[in-house]
Structure 1
């Protein structure tokens, strides 16, 4: 049919190719992974290493059929097989001859086909073939020069080929063509037609490459033009400068100078700002340093250097506002009114630094807002909880893009005035690490002698904080560094009594929650008994935060009923509270119900207010060993040892007849709620009372609670937190409290309504404590009974 070609039939394994086409005389690596393909390779290796390579029409087809594979492909010889991880293999093949599929013999376990193989033999070259070969070689040389994707050495090997069919196949294998274009070349059995197709393809590729070259030249010229324009612009700016004309940077500088003049900055600040403007004018507009300078100038100009609000110095109005917002809190309110009075007399008074210390939920933060409202000042709040980076206070230095002032300066910018009320919340919850100590950085902020020249690392100029009224809050003074605490005026806000909580709930919390839940007064009402029941049996706290939550819970449930019936009206009473809040959470009054041997009630101070604790002592036959449990601290353990020594020294007076009783018994001292750490000397007399009761078999009065430190000689020393402890005892249903005599002055802070309901026994020796606390009078007591202060003597304490 074609001159110089021979055909013959053979059966051979088929390897379908995806996205790849192999020409005769082409050597290529193929990655084989499909099971049928691997089986075909193995079958070919068992026979003559010959395999038929045909390309799939769609590369995505995993299991191709007869219609999915091109009819004409290449017979190849397998040169090498390399097995790869994952069950695949890499096969090195060399194309031999073209062939056409005559039929499919079977598809499993591999595809086997019958093919008609075409063998080409070198024949006499016609002049037309010779011309096409020369044209193809010339075009290929030009293509290699222009594309630069094919190594120049390839041209040398191509020029040496004398067979026209082989030349066409080798050139086609080096071109970046689509699969269907390569397939068209493969299917061209006529050598002349094959050479013509390749010459046409190379001509098109050369046109595309020429277009790419022109586009690259155009882009390069555009870049050169941009550089030329930049150079000309710089020349133009120099000419404008000589002529006295303004450019964009000069215009920006003039605008900034105008803003600086309008801002009325202090002289040293204005000088600093003008220097920065000069620096900005000398910089290229888009460099990073210019952005930093612009941000810095924005901060300088936005700070309230001279803006100040006028204080509302009307004491009556201030008193009214403070009473509207908060019930009780007499001391803080008095301090604010004193400040207003002094401001009225002395205009240049420095702002005070107040520190409100008290348990959570007593209104420390909200009191700061009320103070700002009473004074007519702006209010800024900053939480210090968890801060451990000094830069949060002093700011970051201007050494990188994105640096910022500290949160003090940010707060001043937010306030917009130089005399706001600045609340520093949770000052006791700061920490420190390798980035610095923020508590030390606060020393300058909260020192009235230094804060008129506060220096922020970002601003690099002093800012006057002396007119700011700083208020800090904390739960405990012990976590505040001593130098920082020394700079503040501490006002303790203790827990509320039941009466105060009731009034706060009825006058403040209930109206607030009714409004927030979209209810009206006609929809819901709370009786005083309901509020007291919530306080006693559903909350146990010094503040009113949980009380507000429980009230909100009731309002939510009523709101759901109101949605169903708009005319619904609910009256919450003490009897209906459990229907809204469920079973009671706490037992009101934790005092023991009956007198018991070896059990005494002590009083403790915690960060959340006062609390009562039971001290239990059990005697066991043993060798005199003392065991202490209940998560006790070192100080409390030492108090227990001192108490035991005191009881041993008073054995005769306590009626203990056995002289060697301390060697016959093991003493187990336990303070319940072992998961809670307990430490401090306040439980000393309670420990001694419980030990004395256990050894003498005399019960301790269940209605008596006590606090005080004990010495080996039996002296009772004063302790702190009297108000909180007394309020806790009152909540627990205690009627008699034993206190150190030196704490008599602290009873003035106890609310009058609480003092009327309780008896206070002031003692200075342990004998007096035992005489009052143990059920029967102590025989042969050497000390007289301590001073008893009850309702009759109330007038002397107020």
Structure 2
């Protein structure tokens, strides 16, 4: 009889694998519960119970998903691999049967009943052992899947149960059959079953040999048939019959002839067609060549749309689709004018840079409409594989051309307007750098011979008008940026947004919501309120969403019969959109000491920034708060150093830094702030706090400051000026070098503001601090 014992051990489920007692093998363990079970086993004499899942596809098995009979094993070695899984060396000890699951939460723990082999031989077991060894030796010689050394090691085993388990581990049995063997606790039953399996395997191997002979004879016959078929094709060709693959070849040849390919591409296509003709239809390479030929035929090689060059018409179309964006429109019209005079011009490569929602993509579509060209768009956001641009080589399974060639096939002409959307969001990894592959696409000197890995032959992109869009110019690599003409679309002014809403957005949303013009009227003051208090953006997407919200509520009012007509004004806007979401910086009501108004440029446009300085008795400690970035902190340090070096000139105690702690704070501390243009504002606030003289409340300022007090140029003057105008400021101090940017500011805004260009901080202070003699 078998000796039985009950023990409690963690359980490790196996998928598609079974371990017999005496077996030693490696396992890879990755499931969370399995790893927990292993760790528990390592703490508990290294014993763990292995049992097999009934269904290998189940990722998270329960108690009912395991076979009851398994193997108690001991973990000999455990190693963590770089991919996070564990490689474990286990040795099977004895059979075991699950009696009860004790826990199933973090890992499985079970109470099992173990079975020891009875190793006392009788004559019957001796006879069975000899028969197993004889049949196993025959199996090794016939199958050649097990080495002769293995048989030598098995031959010396004297225990019947151990011999049965070791031989079973070498047999190519199905998982179900292995489980049946494992469940045979009686050694004689197990040995009889193995003898049956070995006899069956012997017959199967003999049948395999017979089938192999038949297959060999069949292959010889197939080669003979192939030769005869080739003769048949020749006969059919002579007779003028167009059947089978020969008909397909003729059609492909005709399509290749009509595709208008350059000579070198035509020769390559005919060479591939010749290979395709010689290959049997069932060949995997045949399908690859056919797909390649289809791509060559489908690509536009000479098909070209004729440009409808009419400057006035193009200008009308651009103005119809977009309000503002004068620089972009002017650049497109210049291109058209030159093309009209020369009849040939390499396609320009424009890059429209600006925040989301300012109309970059729709502008490219309008350019295509004004030129009467096909329009194709490719999104490059998230592309990090070079083969996305250049294509895969045909040696790879599932190879395809890159996105450029795919776009050209979609366009169907060699001179489309090709939009490369979100070119700043390409990244790179171990598969290559797609931005480097774009260098050839966007270089007018190189893209005449663009090379795609899949097409292999050069393709002419010189007539394509490429337009790229980006949100952030700084993330575009320098060499790629150098190949494009950068056109900045900073955003729309309030006045421009008002016109866009009236002329485009409201009409579009009325149509989409099934409303008539007379059913909903949104007044100008309501539109301005939406722009100021319900959106914070450079573009108009948020504005369009709020208009859509008004349309939905109007549709509900009209369909419920409350009213037949809705008028939205500044007074009732909150009934439709709720409480105001945003607020904008407003000018101070009184002149303040230690408070200066700066002008900031954010992703949502311009805004005003109050910079506060307070003094407290101390030893010159400088405290900066308000979630400032590194650049802004450095500006504060530079301003502080300049004020210390020029203290006597401003009538400040030269030893102030030994008497006071200075705290510089920019309100709205949760909002990150950075940039160099706060230098003059911080300096002004510092001087005001130290002299006790207030800063003029109507003055806003911007500019970077140096340690010598020079005021350097900044960016985003248009947006900053608009925010100052909106906040009620009347005077703006700006760097002298930014005078050239004043032309970008709308005339209606310029007329209501006074601009003071400066080159030194002293000029700033004279115009900003009350009591100083103004030079203006």
Taking structure 2 as the reference length, the TM-score comes to 0.71
Query: In the alignment, does 2:713 pair up with 1:715?
Result: no
* Whole-Å separation in 2 of the counterparts to 1:368 and 1:569: 37
The aligned residue for residue 676 of structure 2 is 681
CA shift, 1:242, in A, is: 5.6
- Counterpart secondary structure, 2:378: strand
The aligned residue for residue 85 of structure 1 is 98
Contact 2:587–2:698 at 8 Å: present in 1 too?
A: yes
CA shift, 1:679, in A, is: 3.1
Residues 447/609 of structure 1: CA separation in 2 closer, same or farther (3 Å cut)? farther
Contact 1:357–1:491 at 8 Å: present in 2 too?
A: yes
The aligned residue for residue 537 of structure 1 is 533
Contact 1:237–1:247 at 8 Å: present in 2 too?
A: no
* Whole-Å separation in 1 of the counterparts to 2:415 and 2:562: 48
* Whole-Å separation in 2 of the counterparts to 1:385 and 1:617: 43
Number of residue pairs aligned between Structure 1 and Structure 2: 582
Of 534-543 and 452-461, more deviation after overlay is shown by: 534-543
The aligned residue for residue 160 of structure 1 is none
- What is the aligned counterpart of 1:670 among 665, 668, 671? 665
* Whole-Å separation in 2 of the counterparts to 1:526 and 1:416: 43
Contact 1:452–1:463 at 8 Å: present in 2 too?
A: yes
Contact 1:353–1:469 at 8 Å: present in 2 too?
A: yes
The aligned residue for residue 238 of structure 1 is 230
Provide Cα deviations, 1:511-558, integer angstroms capped at 9, x if missing partner: 011011111112211111111121122122222111111111100111
Query: In the alignment, does 2:719 pair up with 1:724?
Result: yes
* Whole-Å separation in 2 of the counterparts to 1:775 and 1:331: 40
The aligned residue for residue 640 of structure 2 is 644
CA shift, 1:405, in A, is: 0.7
- Counterpart secondary structure, 1:85: strand
The aligned residue for residue 699 of structure 1 is 694
Contact 1:308–1:417 at 8 Å: present in 2 too?
A: yes
* Whole-Å separation in 2 of the counterparts to 1:388 and 1:614: 42
CA shift, 1:749, in A, is: 1.1
- Counterpart secondary structure, 1:417: coil
The aligned residue for residue 345 of structure 1 is 341
Provide Cα deviations, 1:116-172, integer angstroms capped at 9, x if missing partner: xxxxxxxxxxxxxxxxxxxxxxxxxxxxxxxxxxxxxxxxxxxxxxxxxxxxxxxxx
* Whole-Å separation in 2 of the counterparts to 1:280 and 1:254: 12
- What is the aligned counterpart of 2:519 among 523, 540, 548? 523
* Whole-Å separation in 2 of the counterparts to 1:477 and 1:331: 18
Contact 2:585–2:608 at 8 Å: present in 1 too?
A: no
Query: In the alignment, does 2:487 pair up with 1:491?
Result: yes
- Counterpart secondary structure, 1:259: helix
Query: In the alignment, does 2:763 pair up with 1:775?
Result: no
CA shift, 1:300, in A, is: 0.6
- What is the aligned counterpart of 1:752 among 727, 747, 750? 747
The aligned residue for residue 464 of structure 1 is 460
The aligned residue for residue 255 of structure 1 is 251
Taking structure 1 as the reference length, the TM-score comes to 0.69
Query: In the alignment, does 2:302 pair up with 1:306?
Result: yes
Residues 588/603 of structure 1: CA separation in 2 closer, same or farther (3 Å cut)? closer
The aligned residue for residue 655 of structure 2 is 660
- Counterpart secondary structure, 1:432: coil
The aligned residue for residue 374 of structure 2 is 378
Contact 1:541–1:608 at 8 Å: present in 2 too?
A: yes
Contact 1:475–1:607 at 8 Å: present in 2 too?
A: no
The aligned residue for residue 203 of structure 1 is none
- Counterpart secondary structure, 2:695: coil
CA shift, 1:428, in A, is: 1.6
CA shift, 1:567, in A, is: 7.2
- What is the aligned counterpart of 2:474 among 455, 473, 478? 478
Query: In the alignment, does 2:546 pair up with 1:550?
Result: yes
Of 613-622 and 552-561, more deviation after overlay is shown by: 613-622
Contact 1:475–1:608 at 8 Å: present in 2 too?
A: no
* Whole-Å separation in 1 of the counterparts to 2:572 and 2:604: 29
Residues 249/716 of structure 1: CA separation in 2 closer, same or farther (3 Å cut)? same
Contact 1:360–1:543 at 8 Å: present in 2 too?
A: yes
For structure 2, list consecutive stretches of 5 or more residues without a partner in the other structure: 1-93, 101-111, 117-207
- Counterpart secondary structure, 1:678: coil
The aligned residue for residue 159 of structure 1 is none
Residues 593/428 of structure 1: CA separation in 2 closer, same or farther (3 Å cut)? farther
- Counterpart secondary structure, 2:424: helix
Contact 1:730–1:754 at 8 Å: present in 2 too?
A: yes
Query: In the alignment, does 2:278 pair up with 1:282?
Result: yes
Contact 1:389–1:433 at 8 Å: present in 2 too?
A: yes
CA shift, 1:325, in A, is: 0.6
The aligned residue for residue 446 of structure 1 is 442
- Counterpart secondary structure, 1:400: coil
Provide Cα deviations, 1:26-75, integer angstroms capped at 9, x if missing partner: xxxxxxxxxxxxxxxxxxxxxxxxxxxxxxxxxxxxxxxxxxxxxxxxxx
CA shift, 1:476, in A, is: 2.6
Question: How large is the RMSD of aligned CA atoms in angstroms?
Answer: 2.9
Contact 2:233–2:246 at 8 Å: present in 1 too?
A: no
- What is the aligned counterpart of 1:590 among 551, 567, 586? 586
Residues 579/270 of structure 1: CA separation in 2 closer, same or farther (3 Å cut)? same
* Whole-Å separation in 1 of the counterparts to 2:542 and 2:228: 73
CA shift, 1:409, in A, is: 0.8
* Whole-Å separation in 1 of the counterparts to 2:362 and 2:406: 21
* Whole-Å separation in 1 of the counterparts to 2:654 and 2:309: 73
* Whole-Å separation in 2 of the counterparts to 1:447 and 1:573: 52
* Whole-Å separation in 2 of the counterparts to 1:414 and 1:348: 24
Contact 1:620–1:665 at 8 Å: present in 2 too?
A: yes
Contact 2:595–2:611 at 8 Å: present in 1 too?
A: yes
**Structure whose alpha-carbon radius of gyration is higher:** 1
- What is the aligned counterpart of 2:420 among 424, 439, 457? 424
CA shift, 1:673, in A, is: 3.5
Provide Cα deviations, 1:712-753, integer angstroms capped at 9, x if missing partner: 222212222222221222233322110011211111111111
Provide Cα deviations, 1:293-347, integer angstroms capped at 9, x if missing partner: 1111111110011111111111111111111111111111111111111111112
The aligned residue for residue 73 of structure 1 is none
Query: In the alignment, does 2:389 pair up with 1:397?
Result: no
- What is the aligned counterpart of 2:429 among 415, 430, 433? 433
CA shift, 1:374, in A, is: 0.8
CA shift, 1:240, in A, is: 2.2
The aligned residue for residue 105 of structure 2 is none
CA shift, 1:413, in A, is: 0.6
Contact 2:613–2:686 at 8 Å: present in 1 too?
A: yes
